[in-house]
Amino acid sequence: MTESLKAAETVTSRSEQGDRFHDESFREGFEEGRLRAARRILIRILELTPGGISVQHRRRIEASTDRQELDDWLGAIFRIRNWSAPARE
């Protein structure tokens, strides 16, 4: 194999590795953004409830890394609370 072919294969291999790293990093960043948004939304909804949010619940939500857990908490809030839409004029 000639030196130029070896060099081309090395560049291609590095490029593929870079693409995989970029894709993985993007997915991880995207998921972290979704987790932050889910935490923020859940905390905001709890802040707006009559009882507010306890310090323990806020800490637990802020520490959660499980989006399904956050979604489950949100579903529980909507099942427990008697939600009614605000009156529109």
pLDDT digits (tens, 9 = 90+) for 6-62: 555 555 566 777 677 667 877 888 788 989 999 999 999 999 888 889 999 999 999
Q: Exposed (0-12), middle (13-18) or buried (19+): which is 53, by Cβ within 10 Å?
A: middle
The pLDDT score that the predictor gives to residue 39 is: 94
The pLDDT score that the predictor gives to residue 78 is: 79
84 within some domain: no
44 within some domain: yes
* Domain residue limits at 58: 19-76
Alpha carbons within 13 A on the beta-carbon side of 30: 6
pLDDT tops 70 at residue 84: no
27 within some domain: yes
82 within some domain: no
The pLDDT score that the predictor gives to residue 36 is: 93
Alpha carbons within 13 A on the beta-carbon side of 82: 0
2 within some domain: no
The pLDDT score that the predictor gives to residue 74 is: 86
71 within some domain: yes
Domains in the chain: how many in total?
A: 1
The pLDDT score that the predictor gives to residue 50 is: 83
